[in-house]
Amino acid sequence: MRSVLKYVLVVLIAASFLTPNAMAQGNLPQSRQASFVESYSPTEWMIQAAGIGTGSKKEQEVNAINDAKKSALYFCLYMGTDPILTAPEEKSRFALQEQNFFDLNNVNKYIAWEAQDFTLRAKMADGKSLKIEKVFRVNVGLLKEDLVTLGVIVAGTDLAAELGLPQILVLPEVPKGGNPLEALDNQSELKQAARSIESYLTARRYEVIVPEQQDFLNNYGSTMKLIKGAGDDVSLQVAQSIGSDVYVTYTVSIATGMQGSTETRKASVTVRAFETTTGRLLGTETGYSYDRPAPPEVVTEEAIKDAIDKVLSRVMAYWKDDLQKGIQYKVIFNITGTFDQDQLEDLQFAVADAVKSCSNRSKENVATDQTLDYLLWAKADKYQQARDLYRDIKTAFSGKYANAKIKQQQLNRKLIMLEITN
């Protein structure tokens, strides 16, 4: 009797370790092969996915199609350059829901459309299984909503409530030293592309800054006088002058051809997103339209949809990371007063202490006799606007150094420019 119990116990223990290929497989797809085709809309992705089906000849095709649907969903969640689940804690939370999530009845509600034809259909294992490939449209908008409800990912509205969704400025990419505002005024195809990107962003509930707004131009003109010497990247200067969190640049190229006697056009659009405080590249993607007899505006918008969605995934990953650190500011101190070397050192120490006391973390970028340049991350609940942070820096500095005072030069959402005088 004891030997029988020992045998049963050994079998149960062994079964508990059959996770990777046996028990853990469960409802998950067999093939897990898929690739991104395009962003069909702000809420839908077109995915080409493969599926493997076994069983009788009648069952193989049905099972292969169902497996391909699961592979398409698996791709959206885990694979590619911009999956929905990126953080380790998101993947850990989803692991608890994974088997139920990949139940076919649940998977089907995210498949908005599927192609009638296969891109591949091949027998495998001497006809015992079938592999197919076809294109699906996955409703990633609904997918993300359900993941929020399950507590797997953070809702965009929650991000907005705590930190606000990023403010984004859209500008055409120009040669070094060129003015993107002038290019936007002079080239109609660039203006059309900007409007297409802005439309896509507003559909996703992002705050979009439109360069044609008069208050933008007023603020831009006054601030550019202060930061003109910072470099020849005018797009970065424009973004800093107005206080956007992220700025997006783009290039548009349209090639013409002939299909018989019909003129066709194919557009390629490269979209890049940058962190405004530093100019750091967050993401870059190139999108392509189909070669078709269509106006330039149509193929341009088609190519933009292919690129912008991937870039926005990188922007949101950056924004989630910043949410943990705090709101990021670039703070520049321009020293205009007259100080000897000892006074200047004491002044610099006082600035460093003041910045440290008002931030979660900080980074000193530049320290000269005329300029102190900092990046700092401040608590969102404590500093809801730049003026609150400026006030605390000024108070902390005056408590550390009595022979100088700080005055405001320029304040916006991401850039604080201050003057230190006698």
**Percent of the chain's residues with pLDDT above 90:** 30
DSSP assignment, residue 228? G
Mean pLDDT of 412-420: 85
- According to DSSP, the β-strands at 207-209 and 167-172 are parallel
- Residues with Cβ within 8 Å of 183's Cβ and at least 6 positions away in sequence, in order, are 172, 174, 190
Band of residue 26 on the pLDDT scale cut at 50, 70, 90: confident
- What average pLDDT does the chain have? 82
CA distance 395 to 319: 30
Question: By C-alpha distance, which of 300, 307, 306 is closest to 189?
Answer: 300
Reported confidence tier of residue 185, pLDDT bands at 50, 70, 90: confident
User: Worst-scoring range by mean pLDDT, 19-23, 183-187, 274-278, 386-390?
Assistant: 19-23
Burial (CB count within 10 angstroms: exposed 0-12, middle 13-18, buried 19+), residue 233: middle
Q: What is the pLDDT of residue 413?
A: 75
Above 80 in pLDDT, residue 196?
yes
The SS3 call for residue 81 is coil
Q: At residue 20, does pLDDT exceed 70? A: no
Q: How many helices (H) and strands (E) does the chain have?
A: 14, 15
> 135 — alpha (psi -120 to 50), left (phi > 0) or beta?
beta
**Are the C-beta atoms of 304 and 287 separated by less than 8 Å?**
yes
Give me 340's structure tokens.
Answer: 């000897």
Asked whether the predicted pLDDT for residue 15 surpasses 50, the reply is no
386 has pLDDT over 50:
yes
User: Residue 405 above 70 pLDDT?
Assistant: yes
Residue 314 has what pLDDT?
A: 80
pLDDT score, position 206: 82
Which has more confidence, 401 or 61?
61
Give the pLDDT score at 113.
95
In DSSP terms, 54 is beta-bridged to: 129
Confidence of residue 32 (pLDDT cuts 50, 70, 90): very high
Single-letter amino acid, residue 398: S
pLDDT given for residue 14 in this prediction: 39
Nearest to 235 by CA among 214, 220, 225, 222: 220
Average pLDDT of span 119-145: 92
Question: What topology does CATH give the domain 161-323?
Answer: Rossmann fold (3.40.50)
Domain ranges in the chain are 23-148, 161-323, 327-421
pLDDT tier for residue 122 given thresholds of 50, 70 and 90: very high
381 vs 43: which has the higher pLDDT: 43
Q: Once rounded to an integer, what is the mean pLDDT over residues 79-91?
A: 85
Long-range contacts from 154-158, C-beta under 8 angstroms, 24+ separation? 154/320, 156/204, 156/205, 156/316
With pLDDT > 70 as the criterion, what percentage of the chain qualifies?
86
Model confidence band, residue 10 (pLDDT cutoffs 50, 70, 90): very low
* Cβ within 8 Å of residue 418, ≥6 positions away: 331, 332, 333, 334, 390, 393, 394, 406, 407, 408, 409
More confident: 140 or 310? 140
Chain-centroid distance, C-alpha 116 = 33
Q: Percentages helix, strand, coil for the chain, rounded to the nearest 5?
A: 45, 30, 25
Residue 316 backbone class (left: φ over 0; alpha: ψ -120 to 50; beta: rest): alpha
Helix (H, G, I), strand (E, B) or coil at 171: strand
What is the model's pLDDT at position 18? 37
Query: How confident is the model at residue 94, as a pLDDT?
Result: 93
The average pLDDT across 379-402 equals 86
Q: By the 8 A CB rule, do 305 and 38 touch?
A: yes
C-beta atoms surrounding 213 within 10 Å: 12
- Nearest CA-CA partner of 355 in 328, 325, 376, 369: 376
Per-residue pLDDT tens digits for 162-182:
556 788 889 898 887 788 888
**For the residues 368-395, what does the mean pLDDT come to?**
87
Fold held by 327-421: Alpha-Beta Plaits (3.30.70)
Q: What is the dihedral of CA 206, 212, 216, 220, to 10 degrees?
A: 120
pLDDT at 157: 54
Confidence of residue 21 (pLDDT cuts 50, 70, 90): very low
